[in-house]
Structure 1
Amino acid sequence: MLLAIDTSAGTSVALVDDDGRVVAERSTPDTRRHAEVIGPYLHEVVAAASPTALTGVVAGIGPGPYTGLRVGIAAARAFAFGRGIPLHAVASHDAVALALVQGGAVAGRFAVVTDARRREVAVTVYGAALPLPHTIVPAHLVARIDWVPEQGVVAHEVSEISAASLGRVALARLAATLPEVDPRPLYLRAPDVTLSTPKRVS
């Protein structure tokens, strides 16, 4: 059983069993209360399973804003470390892509789009396939006013990422023995704050 956490948009926490069924899930689309809700959500969701049933933790790594992503990834890292179980990283757009393919909503090429703020969107282009959609164009930023899907690409803009779908991606990757994804957050924009150059003291 996997505990999955995503804070790339709102906040979502879920438990999925080895067949991908949802055991428990809590979520909110609120993009400003990650730190306030992550603790209670974890407590409520984890209570639905015995401690020995958990075999891994899944962290959604974005793309997403800096503040939101670091809350979820830090929580996933801490929980995995505390329980002594593996941490698996999954790109958040992959969760949306798999849900769309499994639901029969897409075929061929399609794009997952999320709000990146500052009048920009984050876009990843996929090819519909199972057990996992394949990435055609990795996640990148586009000015919202300029965003027009290429011919033949169907765009799906979402405001929430399901942690349950995130867990299903991790299960599919584990079943296919794919390499682990780097758990570093997927920031598409340089940080606003940079370190200043120290002045030389004569």
Structure 2
Amino acid sequence: MLLAIDTSAGTAVAIVDDDGRMLASRSTPDTRRHAEVIGPFLAEVLAEAGSAPLTGVVAGIGPGPFTGLRVGIAAARAVALARGVPLHAVPSHDAVALDRVVGGVAAGRFAVVTDARRREVAVTVYTAQLPVPVVLEPPHLIARAAFAPAHDVPAYEVAEIPAVELARVAQARLAAGIPLPEPAPLYLRAPDVTLSSPKRVTG
């Protein structure tokens, strides 16, 4: 079984078997309750999926806001460490891209879009290929009002990332020998809160 966790938008948790079949899933589009729901979601999907051992944990690494991403990645690290299984990282937009391609919705060039707040969106442009869509333009921020004229491609905006597809991306890339990125959060802007520089004391 492979456990997938994403908190780049809402909070999504899922478990799939070795064939990519969903065994359990929980999600919410709420962007302000990551820390509150992640624990119950994990307990529920692990209980629902049964006693088969986990073979790995997948963390969605964004793009997304600073606080939200930290919650999901920290949870994924903790479960992987506790279960003694590998931790895999997948860019969150890749899950949406795979879902659209496998579902026959996307073909050719297309974009995946998530809200980045501050009247901006996070955008990744893909070309529809399998086993996984190929990134043509890596994640970047753009003003929401400017997105449509700047990208003449079909765009799919989502409020939450499908954790099931996150796991399937990891499975597809591992099976094809396609490297996965490091499990580090993908921030497109600096965090809102930063440490102040220490004041120099003179005397």
What is the 5 A alignment of 1:175-186? 175-186=175-186
Q: CA deviation at 1:18?
A: 1.1
2:86 is aligned with 1:70: no
Q: In structure 2, give the amino acid aligned to 1:15.
A: I
Aligned CA distance change for structure 1 residues 156 and 119 (closer, same or farther; 3 Å)? same
Q: In the TM superposition, what is the alpha-carbon distance from 1:179 to its structure 2 partner?
A: 1.7
Alignment of 1:149-164 (within 5 A): 152-164=152-164
SS in 2 for 1:79: helix
Mapping of 1:135-146 within 5 angstroms?
Answer: 135-146=135-146
Partners of 2:145 and 2:138 in 1: how far apart? 20
Distance 2:196 2:39 in 1: 35
Distance 2:197 2:37 in 1: 38
Question: 1:149·1:155 contact (CA, 8 Å) conserved in 2?
Answer: no
- How far apart are residue 146 of structure 1 and its match? 1.1
What are the superposed Cα offsets for residues 153-178 of structure 1, whole Å, 9 maximum, x if unpaired?
11111111110010000000110112
> Cα deviation per residue 1:98-151 (whole Å; 9 max; x = unaligned)?
000000001100000000001000000000001000000000000111112556
Structure 1 segments, 4+ long, off by >3 Å, are: 49-52, 149-152
Residue 109 of structure 2 is matched in structure 1 by 109
Structure 2 counterpart SS, 1:173? helix
Give the match's secondary structure for 2:111.
strand
Aligned amino acid, residue 27 of structure 1: S
Alignment partners' CA distance in 1, 2:71 and 2:79: 12
State the Cα RMSD in Å. Answer: 1.3
Paired position in structure 1 for 2:40: 40
Bigger mean CA offset, 141-150 vs 157-166 = 141-150
The residue matched to 2:113 in structure 1 has which SS? strand
Instruction: Classify 1:33/1:169 alpha carbon distance in 2 versus 1 (closer, same or farther; 3 Å).
Output: same
The superposition leaves residues 33-79 of structure 1 with CA deviations (integer Å, 9 ceiling, x where unpaired) of 11111111100101133555210000001111111111111100000
For 2:151 and 2:8, locate their aligned partners in 1 and report how far apart those are by CA, in whole Å: 28
Does structure 2 retain, via aligned residues, the 8 Å contact 1:57–1:88? yes
Aligned to 1:93: 93
Distance 1:85 1:98 in 2: 24
Query: 1:6: which partner in 2?
Result: 6
Consecutive unaligned residues in structure 2, runs of 5 or more? none
Match of 1:119 in 2: 119
Distance change >3 Å, CA 11–CA 99, structure 1 → 2? same
Aligned to 1:58: 58
The worse-fitting range, judged by mean Cα deviation, of 34-43 and 188-197 is: 188-197
Tell me the SS of whatever aligns to 1:147: helix
- Residue 31 of structure 1 aligns with which residue? 31
1:21 is aligned to 21
How far apart are residue 91 of structure 1 and its match?
A: 0.4
Q: Note closer, same or farther for the CA distance 1:197–1:36 as it changes in structure 2 (3 Å cut).
A: closer
